[in-house]
Structures are given as C-alpha cells and as structure tokens.
Chain A
Amino acid sequence: MKRMFKKLQITRVPLRWKIIGITAGVVLLMRLTEYLYVHTIMVKELETEFLARFSGIMKHISSSITNPMLTENTSTISHILKETKSSDPDILYIYLLKDRNKILSHTFIKGFPIDLLKLSDGNIRWKTYEGMNYISFKADKKKIYHIKTALPLNNEAELHMGFSTDYIKSVINQINYIFSAITLFLFIIAIGISTYLSSKITKPINEIVSATNLVGIGDFSQRININTGDELETLGTNFNRMVENLEKSKAELEKTFEKLLQTEKFTAIGTLSAGLAHELNNPLSGIYNLLKILKTKELPEEKREEYFRVIFESLDRVQNIVRRLLDYTRKEDDGLIENINIRDLIKNSLLLIPSTTSETLLHFVDHLPPSGGIVYGNKEQLQEVIMNILLNALYAIKDKPDGKIIIEGTLNNGMVHITITDNGDGIPATIKHRIFDPFFTTKPAGMGTGLGLPLSLRIIEKHGGELYVESIENVGTTVKILLPVKEE
C-alpha cells in the first residue's frame, strides 16, 4: 500500500485530501460492487425469470395448438401464433417446424428468415430449462433468446419462439441509472461530510504544524488552543507544556552561559594577573620613588614639574590599566547590541596584554578599511573571543624564544576576517576533534577551564559568523574568525 502511494507520488498529499480521497474511494468501491452485482447475479436472475415467463407461454401455445395441429387446422394455428405474438412485445417471432426444415406456420411478415433453420442443424449446443431447450444469439447486434419445445403427440414437430432482451436491458439500465444517481448523491454527500470532518481534524493539526515550525526556529512564545475534546486536544496541551519547559530550559541555559562567560573571564584575568601586576608595579614603583625624591630633596622647579608630570603620566597609565580591566571583567550588560569597530576591538584587546610581551611578540597587520570594519553585536562577548584566542596563542608560544603572534584584520566579501596565527606547538592531530568540546583542556589545572573555544564558537555563531581552527603540530595554529559587516 505504502509502495503504491509512493508510486502514485501521493505521499505529499495533505491529510485532508487523503481523507476525502479515501471516502470517495469507498463510495466508488460500493458502486463497483453494485455494478458487478447487477451485471452478474441480477442479469442471471432476470434471464431465468424471462425464461420462466416464456417457457410458460410456450407451454400454453403448445397445448393450444395440439388439436389444430392434429387436424392440420393451419388457420387456427396461425391465428394462435399471431395472437400470442401480439400479446407480448418482447416476443419477436414464433414458428412451427417439422422434420427440422419444414416450416408449418410462422409469424414473420414477407417470408421466413432462412438463416433460422441453421439453429436446427444439430451442431448447436442447446441449454435446457424445464424440459425446454434454449440458446441465445445475436441478430443485427441485438441479443435474442430462442426457445424451442417438441409438441406432444406431434413428436416430429417443434415450436420455436424468439424473444428480445430489450426488457432485461431496460431494467438493467434503469437500475444502473438509479444506482448511479444514488452513488452521485452519496458521492457529493460523502465528499461534503469528509471535507467538513477532515477540516475539523486537520485544522488543529495544521495549527500544531505551524507552531512547531516556529518553535523549530527558536520562537518559544508559541501556544496553541485546541478544544476538540479528543486526542488532538491532549496533543495540544502536551505541546504547550513541552514548549513551556523548552522556554524555561532555554532561559536557564542562557543564564548558565552567562555564568560560564564570567568564569572564563576571571580565568583569563588569572592568566593575565602576573603580567598586570608587573605592569602596575612599574609605574607605581616609579611614582613611589619620585614621590620619595620630592619629599626628601629640594629640587629645582623644573625638575619638580617634570617629576610631577611623570607621576601624573604614570598614574594615568595605572588608571588606564585598571579601567580596561574593569571594563573587561564587567558583567555583560544584558546583551547590549551596538556597532563595534573591529580595529578598536583588536587594539583594546592588545592593550590588555602586558606591554613587555605585546611589543616583542604581537604584530597587528591592519588591512581593515579606514572605518575599521563595523560589526553589529555584543562588544564584551566579541572581545572575550579575541582575548581567549590571544591568550591561547600566548600560552602556545610561552616557551619559544622566537615565539610570534600575528593578528591580521581584513575585509572580504562583506565579512570581517580576523586571523590570529602563532608559531607555537600546534594542536596534536589526536585531539584536534575535541578542541570545541566543553571542559576539554590541555592546560594544567587552574590555568584553563576548557570553555574558551566552545564559548568563542558559540558567540561567533550567535553573531552570524564563523570560526575555524587550522593547526599543524610543531608548526603553529591559525584561528580564523569571520563576522558579517553591518550593512549601511
């Protein structure tokens, strides 16, 4: 059945049309059954009834003509035959045959159809009915029943009669017309009812289908209202409950994601802290020494002013470092979406890297346009991605005397490409497939959470971008970030 449906390519036929089609099919099947009944059993019954009727007439004629036959009263015989024929429109002809080829009397006008004599040539296989013989043949495309009987006391004489099946045909046609009309009526009614019922069934199903489509693309606000009082209503209720749970789970998942982001940030700060401490320590030591000099020694006015300028510069630097750190560690302000200048974003990230390392190891190759490449998104999140990747790169080259990191920014085909390449150890082929698995890390305990890359991937995908990692062991790693440029 399924195969047949497939063959007929009706697998994609809507449920409603299937219901209507099946209903129509049932009605038509009913008609087929009726048709077969009428044309087999009913025709047989009508033929038998016909034979009974005409064999009765034959018996009557044969008894009526017995004595006229014995006295060779041809006129009486002829009269009886004619009267009998005219009494029934279905009787086509009657004739009396003797010795197989002598016609004693007949009802034909203008002579006897000589072809009828071939019925008596002995090759014809007659059927019997109540002591009489009958056959059917075609004359001028019409079916004719021919019945014969031997006359009592005139054994060599036979009475033959032909009758038309027009009556049977008309009865069958009439029955067919009636059945066809009933079928048509039932067909219309059935189509009407099934259309109504199927729409009742399919309407809530369609509602569920469109709701699931919307849920499928992330709209969890969908709720459906079905009041059919049957399984469909239960389905609707269950669907609503399921979507509610999904919505809750999604909210919880997002909360968890936020927490993870924060955790990851603090981990990054931990990684940065030594460098930062050093960075803060340098100006602070300078400030301390200068203040000490200023307190103890009488200095010329120019020198004092220079020292104060240096102190203020150093304090600016400290303030700058602390502000950047605060910026970075600040909890995401509910996903503020803004225009982000990628050049500034990269530069800000580089500033977070201790200057000692950044100056020697980090190279920013800027092919970005003068505008800097504007991307619409969450600045904090994108910065975290760049920081994560930079820190990973720094970790990779930490033991290399010639370690180098190149950050390249380009604009290509409406996408900002940020490529961060290091010449570190690279990722061993055996773990390449796991680098995006959450909590997978090769760093020692306390150095990494194993969430950096998976979170970065998620953030980039959320921004409609792509993130690839290409790595060759002992050669280095390239991380490529593609972000769509904001359309003007």
Chain B
Amino acid sequence: MKIVFPVIFLLLFSGCKMNDTPLEVDLEKKVILNPEEGNEKDFRFGIATMLTPSQNIYYYAELIEYIGRKLNMPASMIQRSTYSQMNDLIKLGGVDIAFICTGAYIKLKNEIPVRILAVPVVDGKKTYNSLIIVRRDSNINSFEDLKGKSFAFVDSLSLTGKIYPIYRVLKSGYLPEMFFTKTIFSGSHDSSIEMVAQGIVDAAGVDNIIFKYYIKDHPEIVKGVRIIEESPPFGIPPVVMKAGYKKPLYQKVREILINMHTDKEGAKILEKLHFDRFEPPSMLSYKNSEEIFKFVSERGF
C-alpha cells in the first residue's frame, strides 16, 4: 500500500516521453555550399517569358527535348524573368540558342551581332500582330477610348506588349504617363490576358499567336475579353544565336528545326505550338518593327 500510491503518482504526474525516433541529425555543423555549376556540355535553349515560365514549360519543353534528342545530347530549357535578362544571358553565353520576342531581338541586334537560325511560320505567315484587348463588357471601343484607363504592358522589350501600344499613344499626340492613369508590367502575355479578363486592368497589348493558344486552350478566359485593335504585321519572333558562337551547333539546330515538320514527332510538337513549320529567315522583314522600336526608344521609352 505504501509503495503503490507513490508509484501511481509518479506515473501520472510525470511527463514521461513517448515516440522515440532513432534518427539523429546534427543541425549545428554547417558548411558553405558552392553555387550550382551549369553543365557546359548541355544544350541550353533559352525561352523568353512571352508566356509565364510554367506555361512555357507546357508549350516548349517537348520542342527542346526533341532538339536534344536529335542532337544526341542533354538539353535544358533556360528561362529568365524578363526579356532583357534573357538577352544578357545570350550575350554572356549562358544559353546556346534562344527563342526571343521580336522587340528583344531588335534590342539585341543593336548591341551585338546576332544570327537568326529559323523562324516559325504561323498560319502560312512569318508575321504576327499586337492585339489591343479590353474586357468584353467594357465601354472601350477604340484605342482613343483608353485615355484615362489602366493598361498592362508585358515586358519592357515586348514589341506587341509594350512598344507598339506606347507607339500608338505617342502617335496620338500623348505621353503615355498622361494617357494612361496606371500602367503595370504583367511579365507575360498570358498574364496580361488574364488581368484584363479579371478586370485588374482595363486593357493590354498582347501577341496574337499567344492569344490563339488561349482561344484553344483557355476559351473561358478568352470569352471575357474583346479585341479593339490589331496592329499591322510585324516580323515574327525568331530563334537566335550569338553570331560566331558554337558554329557547328548553329548548323545542326537549324537543320533540325527546319526539317521538324517532316517527321511525325516533330509535326506533333509544331501542332501544339500552332506553328506550321520552321523556316529560314529569308524574305523576312523586321523593318517596321525596327522603326517603331527606334521611334519609341528615342522618346525615352
């Protein structure tokens, strides 16, 4: 009797531990780890964020894998947050080949010698347009109606997403900061479309090819918007390479891209991208794009 009660007390009022885990980890011993080093042997394909990075993966991962397979070397897809970061990466040799926006290409071409490997042909054309979109139920019917409204740009170097809309404002005799009440950078065309549909901004300028992706893949979002203006055709975004850099690769990749539509697997990938095929950049003009770019950049935009 004398022993039983203290034992019960001890058992009941002590905080004895359960659930012992055998695994022990020392969190105190720390080391400084070297930053990850890129593999020089990989084929590195840069994709500008015309779409959000995850959407880019969805549309372009198969294309890059296809090229890698054809090259018989591991291929990796490199993305950066902005077009200018991608341009810097091209200049620094961080990517071997890149698919960039026309605006970014013109900027890059002004800075370093660049070679175009191939361009996609979309609906039989090597051109694309900027679309000015507004919310379907808005009372904006013309570009002039955008005065006093908010506007979403895609990227500083985006031709269809920024340079053309600014050009339109400037041509109308306004300064963008006086024309729009508020401007934002969405970072990608798909984000711009979604922001307009959601009513976060009143309008945006977007790439018509990406708009087509959205008509097919996200009709519910496209339903919420309406096109009020289409720009004249511009030279389509090219697949580029820093001139004189890894010449043998240039030839090989160019061959692969241009012949892609001839094999079944390649054709399927092109179909997903809404590309008819890749073609050499012959008969291609970026003249009007360059003029617009010059006009806008001379005015500080």
A positions within 8 Å CB-CB of B: 8-10, 13, 21, 24, 28, 31-32, 35, 39-40, 43, 66-73, 76, 92-93, 98, 102-104, 108, 110-116, 118-119, 124, 135-140, 143-144, 152-153, 173, 176, 180, 183
Contact = CB atoms under 8 A, between A and B. Distances in A.
Contacts of A143: 19, 21
Contact of A71 (B1, B23, B79): B79
A111 B33 contact: yes
A139 B33 contact: no
Interface of B: 1, 4-5, 8-9, 11-13, 15, 18-19, 21, 23-33, 36, 49, 52-54, 56-57, 78-81, 85
12 contacts: A10-B1, A24-B5, A28-B5, A35-B11, A66-B54, A102-B33, A104-B36, A111-B33, A137-B21, A137-B25, A138-B21, A180-B12
5 nearest A-B residue pairs (beta carbon): A70-B53, A111-B30, A137-B23, A115-B26, A67-B53
Label chain A's interface by main secondary structure: mixed
Nearest to A13: B1
Contacts of B54: 66-67, 70, 152-153
A32 B12 contact: yes
B81 A71 contact: yes
Nearest to B56: A70
Contact of B27 (A31, A43, A66, A116): A116
Nearest to A47: B19
A113 B30 contact: yes
Nearest to A135: B23
Nearest to A183: B12
A293 B15 CA distance: 124
A153 B61 CA distance: 10
Contacts of B4: 8
Contacts of B15: 173, 176
Contact of A138 (B24, B29, B80, B81): B24
A49 to B, nearest CB: 16
Contacts of B24: 137-139
A102 B8 CA distance: 52
Contacts of A98: 36
Contact of A144 (B8, B9, B25, B32): B25
Contacts of B79: 70-72
A66 B8 CA distance: 55
Contacts of A110: 30
Nearest to A154: B57
In the complex, which of the residues B4, B8, B23, B85 has the most CB atoms of chain A within 10 Å of its own CB atom? B23
Contacts of A10: 1
Nearest to A103: B33
Contact of A114 (B11, B31, B56): B31
Nearest to B77: A70
B19 A66 contact: no
Given A67-B53, A70-B57, A153-B57, A113 B28 contact: yes
Nearest to B12: A31
Contacts of B5: 24, 28
Contacts of A118: 25
Contacts of B28: 113, 140
A28 B26 contact: no
Nearest to B57: A153
Nearest to A184: B13
Contacts of B9: 28
Contact of B49 (A71, A103, A152, A153): A71
Contacts of A124: 23
A31 B52 CA distance: 59
A112 B36 CA distance: 14
Contact of A72 (B18, B31, B57, B78): B78
Given A28-B9, A124-B23, 20 more contacts: A24-B5, A32-B11, A35-B12, A39-B18, A43-B18, A66-B54, A72-B78, A72-B80, A76-B81, A103-B33, A111-B31, A112-B32, A113-B25, A113-B30, A115-B27, A115-B29, A118-B25, A136-B19, A137-B25, A140-B27
B266 to A, nearest CB: 23
Nearest to A92: B27
Nearest to A75: B81
Contacts of A152: 54
A112 B31 contact: yes
B74 to A, nearest CB: 12
A110 B80 CA distance: 28
Contacts of A173: 15
Nearest to B36: A102
A117 to B, nearest CB: 10
Nearest to A152: B54
Contacts of B21: 136-138, 143
A310 B243 CA distance: 186
A110 B31 CA distance: 8
In the complex, which of the residues A70, A113, A116, A153 has the most CB atoms of chain B within 10 Å of its own CB atom? A70
B29 A113 contact: yes
